[in-house]
Structure 1
Amino acid sequence: MKSRLASVHPLQLICLGLTALLAYGLLGCAIGYSQSVSGNLPQAQRGVLDLRTVPFDQQTVPLNGTWKWYWQTMLKPGDSETNVDYAPFPEIWNKQTRQNQPLPGMGYATYALTVLLPPATPPLALRLPDTFTSYRLFLNGQELAHNGSPGTSKETTTPFWSTQVKPIHPTSDTLHLLLQVANFQHYKGGPYQSIELGKAEDLLIARNRECALSFTLAGCLFMGGLFFLGLFLFGRHEISILYFSLFCLLYSYRIVGSDQYALHSLFQDTAWSLTLHLEYLSLYLSIAVFVVYTGSLYPDDVNKIVIKLLAGICLAFAAATILFPARIFTQMINPFLGLMFIYIGYAFYVYWRAAQRKRPGARYSLMSTAVLLAVFIIIIFKYFQIAFPENVILFVGYIGFFFLQSLVLSFRFAYTLKQAKEQAEEGLRVKNEFLSTMSHEIRTPLNAVIGMNHLLLQDHPRPDQKQHLDVMLFSAKNLLHIVNDILDFNRIEGGKTVLEMIPMDPATILQNVVNSYQTAAAEKSLLLKVTIDHRFKTRVTGDPSRLAQVVSNLVQNAIKFTEKGQILVNLIVNEETEHNITLTLAVEDTGIGIAPDKQEMVFNRFTQADSSLSRSYGGTGLGLAICRRILELQHVDLRLQSQPGKGSRFYFTQTFPKITPPPELEREPAPEPEPKPIPTDKPLKGIFVLLVEDNAMNVILAKNVLDRLGATVEVASNGQEAVEKLDSSRHHLILMDLQMPVMDGYEATRIIRQRNETLPIIALTASLAQEVGDQTQLAGLNEVLVKPYTPASLMQVIMRHLKIPN
Structure 2
Amino acid sequence: MVIISITIITIAPAYASPYSITPIELSTIELPISGNLIEKGRLYYNPSNQPPNWDAPAAFLEQLKPVNDINIKGGDFWLNLSVKNATEVERWSIKVDGSFIEHIQAFIFTHSAIQGMDHNQPRLVEFPKGGQFDGGDYLHHYGMDISLTPNANYDIWVNLQSSYFTASPHVQIFTTKDFANDVNKNNFLIVGCLGSILILALYNFLIYLWTQAKEYLFYSAYLISTLAGWAAVFGIFSHFFNSNSIALIMLPFYTNIIFNVYFYQHFLDLPEKHPLMSKLSYGIVGICLVLMATYRFTPEWISYVFINVVNSIWLVTGLFCGIRRLQDGYKPARFFVLGFSTVFIGGSFIILPYFGFPRFVKEAYLVALIGQTLDVLFLALALADRINNLRKEKEIALKLAHSIEKTANQTLTAANNKLLDALHIAAQNQRQKDEFLIAVSHELRTPLNAITASLSQLRHSNEPSEQQNLQNYIQFGTERLAAQVENIVILAELDEENITPQEETFSARELLEELEEMAQGYLIEKDIVFKTVKSSSVSDYYTGDRHLLVRMLAPIIDNACKYTTSGNINLQLADKWGNLIFEVIDSGPGIPADRQEGIFDSFMQVSSGYQRDHEGLGLGLAISKRIAELLDASIEFDVVIPHGCHCIITLPIRKQENAPQHSTHNIQTAHALIVEDNKVNAKVLQTLLAKLGVSADVAENGLIALNVTDHNHYDLIFMDLQMPKMDGFAATESMRSKGITTPVIAVTANSDYKSRKRCAEVGMNDFLAKPIKKSTLLQSIKRWVG
TM-score (norm 1): 0.36
| Higher alpha-carbon Rg | 2
Q: Which fold has the larger relative contact order, with Cα–Cα distance below 8 Å and residues 6 or more apart in sequence?
A: 1
Length-normalised TM-score, structure 2: 0.37
